[in-house]
Amino acid sequence: MNNNSNSHRIVIVGGGAGGLELATRLGRKLGKKNLAEVLLIDARMTHIWKPLFHEVAAGSLNSYSDELNYLAQAKWNHFRFQPGTMSGLNRNEKTITLAPAFDNTDTELLPERQIPYDTLVIAVGSHTNDFGTPGAQEHCLFLDSREQAERIHHHLISRSLHYISGEEGPQHTSIAIIGAGATGVELAAELHSASHLMARYGLEENAREIQLTLIEGAPRVVPALPERISRGVQHQLEKLGIKTLCNTIVAEVGAHGLKTKEGEQIHADMVIWAAGIKGPEFLQDLDGLESTRTNQLVVEQTLQTTLDKNIFALGDCASCTITGKSGEPFKVPPRAQAAHQQATLLAKNITHKLKGEPLQNYTYRDHGSLISLSSHSAVGNLMGNLMGDVMLEGWLARMFYVSLYRLHQITLYGFWRTGMLMTKDLLEKGTRPGLKLH
């Protein structure tokens, strides 16, 4: 990789699905040919595909087996990686500020640093939005990172250990999940599946020892998706015995459950907040860049920020409005397929920018939505020019759902290495338990 100080410096902040795919594409296209210096910055050293966090929380996915190391990916794909958390921006000097890094004993590992750029891409994703609900930060578990997902899993395992020791413990574990969007529904289904496996391994007396309740403020589950998908999801949840409470607003969260706006008390040993998203706080008024109430950077259809053509944003932290099929303004939803499409476009647009060529506008292509209902089923629809809008359920829908992750891996690793990873996963099924038990 070219470290020439005169080389065009492309800095990508955020190693999620969009940011990592972009760094990989630009490294192969520009870094390999010494046409630009590509630097990826992320607070962590490894990458896990965020749509898999619900599987990490339930223990059905070992995150350490499926993680990608940023340093190795950088070496293989001709870009550089540096750990850090962005805390500021100076547009006049074209530098970003990285906050100091500390270890678990509060010893400073890295000082505050200034990183210069010629082109900056902000792809820092989103966090759960608790809307300022009293008690949420103190008493809720969240699903924004691998560490938070593992914390949910550890809580689950810890409450079940008394069955191994023979000691008397709680009669059951009640879990309330606030938010019945895709994340909440997938997490509930995965936890339900995990309860059956825990009973099989002796961590529960029987699979019904975990009681799951989904709480949604909208009139139906997965309200952002078409109503027929919502009906299919609701039907599957009822078959699994997962209780759903729609049209229910949470007013307060406490140590032993929550209280609704109507005053109803709902007991829960664990409360997991999975409703709503917002961008990181530092994006609000970031050196004058235009942002929304939920801390998203407002971008043009080229994905350039409205007030600075040298700064781009993509994924959940970007607010992008395009013209829909009907001619009406349409805000791009915060979905993995949107981040993937935007990373693909940005790899082209940044190359065009270096050559002084016009940039292309982003067009959102909705390929449908699939909701995973644990390892054996899914519900959703696929959209395409040949098939139109096709409703899928069960095993076939699950296969399409899994293929989304494989496509992400192909972008990062290529076909051959992804094939080897799939072979590894098949071989490991016979040598490890179906659930992470620690």
Instruction: Using DSSP bridges, classify how beta strands 210-215 and 173-178 pair: parallel, antiparallel or unpaired.
Output: parallel
Q: Domain boundary at 251, 275, 299, which? A: 275
d(CA 205, CA 55): 22
Distances (CA, A) of 386 to 104, 105, 390: 54, 57, 10
pLDDT grade for 309, boundaries at 50, 70 and 90: very high
Same domain as 285, residue 264: no
pLDDT of amino acid 26: 97
From 133-142, 163-172, 233-242, the region with the lowest mean pLDDT: 163-172
The neighbouring-strand residues paired with 323 are 329
Same domain as 77, residue 18: yes
Does residue 118 belong to any structural domain of this protein? Answer: yes
Does residue 373 belong to any structural domain of this protein? Answer: yes
Q: Look up the CATH number of the domain holding residue 188.
A: 3.50.50.60
pLDDT of amino acid 355: 94
What are the structure tokens assigned to 221, written together? 């589950």
d(CA 349, CA 366): 21
Same domain as 189, residue 146: yes
Amino acid identity of residue 84, one-letter, is: G
Does residue 340 belong to any structural domain of this protein? Answer: yes
Same domain as 158, residue 254: yes
Does residue 434 belong to any structural domain of this protein? Answer: no
Q: In this model, does residue 374 exceed pLDDT 80? A: no
Mean pLDDT of 391-411: 75
Q: In this model, does residue 207 exceed pLDDT 90? A: no
d(CA 236, CA 231): 9
pLDDT grade for 376, boundaries at 50, 70 and 90: low
Does residue 2 belong to any structural domain of this protein? Answer: no
3-state secondary structure of 256: coil
pLDDT per residue as tens digits for the range 79-128: 999 999 999 999 999 999 999 988 878 888 889 999 999 999 999 999 99
Same domain as 377, residue 317: no
Q: Domain boundary at 226, 250, 275, which? A: 275
Nearest residue to 8 (alpha-carbon basis) of 357, 314, 308, 353: 353
Which residues are CB-neighbours of 368 under 8 A, at least 6 positions away?
380, 381, 382, 383, 384, 389, 390
Mean pLDDT of 159-174: 66
Number of domains in the chain: 3
Nearest residue to 22 (alpha-carbon basis) of 3, 47, 53: 47
Neighbours of 328 (CB within 10 A): 7
Same domain as 155, residue 266: yes
pLDDT of amino acid 169: 56
Same domain as 101, residue 149: no
Same domain as 250, residue 167: yes
From 13-17, 185-189, 241-245, 380-384, the region with the lowest mean pLDDT: 380-384
pLDDT of amino acid 386: 41
Output the pTM of the full model: 0.89
Within 13 Å of residue 351, how many CA atoms lie on the same side as its CB? Answer: 17
CA 377 to chain centroid, in Å, comes to 21
Does residue 38 belong to any structural domain of this protein? Answer: yes
Same domain as 249, residue 160: yes
Mean pLDDT, the chain, rounded, equals: 86
Q: Where are the alpha helices (DSSP H) in 325-393?
A: 336-355
Does residue 436 belong to any structural domain of this protein? Answer: no
Same domain as 245, residue 140: yes
Same domain as 410, residue 347: no
Same domain as 314, residue 243: no
Give the angle 330-278-243 at the CA atoms, nearest 5°: 90
pLDDT per residue as tens digits for the range 317-354: 999 998 777 777 888 988 888 999 999 999 999 999 99
pLDDT grade for 3, boundaries at 50, 70 and 90: low
Domain that residue 414 falls in: 368-428
pLDDT of amino acid 385: 45
pLDDT grade for 1, boundaries at 50, 70 and 90: very low
Q: Domain boundary at 246, 275, 304, which? A: 275
